[in-house]
Every structure is written in structure tokens, then in C-alpha cells.
Structure 1
Amino acid sequence: MKRKAQGAIEYLFMIAAALIIIAIVIRYLRGAGESTGSTINQGQSAINSKLSQELSEALSD
């Protein structure tokens, strides 16, 4: 009976370790996604302002 309990505890520790690794990976990916999203928003804003400027100059000529 003691052998089965030891196997069960080892199995639970392996599951816990896998869940911790998965949580770390998800946290890392979420952080990377947020920084990428902010970079995209900044680029889109710069493009929009440049297009607005070019359009207003073209229409005023």
C-alpha cells in the first residue's frame, strides 16, 4: 500500500510541476503579446498621422 501512495504523490508532484511551467509560459506570452500590441498601436498611430498630414497638404495645393 505504501508503494501506491508514493507513486500517487510522485504523480501529483509531476502534475504540479507541469502546471507551474505552463503558468510561467502563459505569463511570458501574455507579456510579449502586450508589448507587441503597444508597438503595433504606436506604428498605426504614426501612419495615420502621416497620412492625414499628406492628405491635407495634397488638398490644400
Structure 2
Amino acid sequence: MKRRAQGALEYLFMIAAALIIIFLAVRYLTRTSSTATDLGNSTLENITQELENAGF
């Protein structure tokens, strides 16, 4: 009975570790995409301002 309990506990720890890794990866990707979106928006605003200043 002890071996089965140990196997189940190890299985639960592996699931927990996998969930933590998945959570960190998703968090990193969402942070990266929001940073890229902010950069793209600021670049677009700069281009729009330059075109308005040039008279277009």
C-alpha cells in the first residue's frame, strides 16, 4: 500500500510542477504580447504625428 501512495504522491507533484511551468509560460507570453502591442501603438502614433507635421 505504501508504494502505491508514494507513486500517487509523485504523480501529483509532477502535475503540480507541469501546471506551474505552464502558468509561467502563459504569463511570460501575455506580458510579451502586451509589450509588443504598446510598442506598436506608440510607433503608429509617432508616424501619424510625423505625417501631420509634414502636411499630409
- CA displacement, residues 4-45 of structure 1 (integer Å, 9 cap, x when unaligned): 111011000000001001111111111111111100000111
Question: Which aligned runs of 4 or more in structure 1 are off by greater than 3 angstroms?
Answer: none
- Report what 2:2 is aligned to: 2
Q: Distance in 1 between matches of 2:23 and 2:34?
A: 17
Matching of residue 26 in structure 1 with residue 35 in structure 2: no
Q: Which structure is larger by alpha-carbon Rg, 1 or 2?
A: 1
Alpha-carbon RMSD across the aligned residues, in angstroms, is: 1.1
Give 5+ residue unaligned stretches, structure 2: none
Q: Distance in 2 between matches of 1:6 and 1:53?
A: 71
Shift of 1:52: 2.5
The alignment of Structure 1 onto Structure 2 pairs a total of residues equal to 55
TM-score (norm 1): 0.79
Q: Distance in 2 between matches of 1:5 and 1:51?
A: 69
What amino acid is aligned across from residue 3 of structure 2 in structure 1? Answer: R
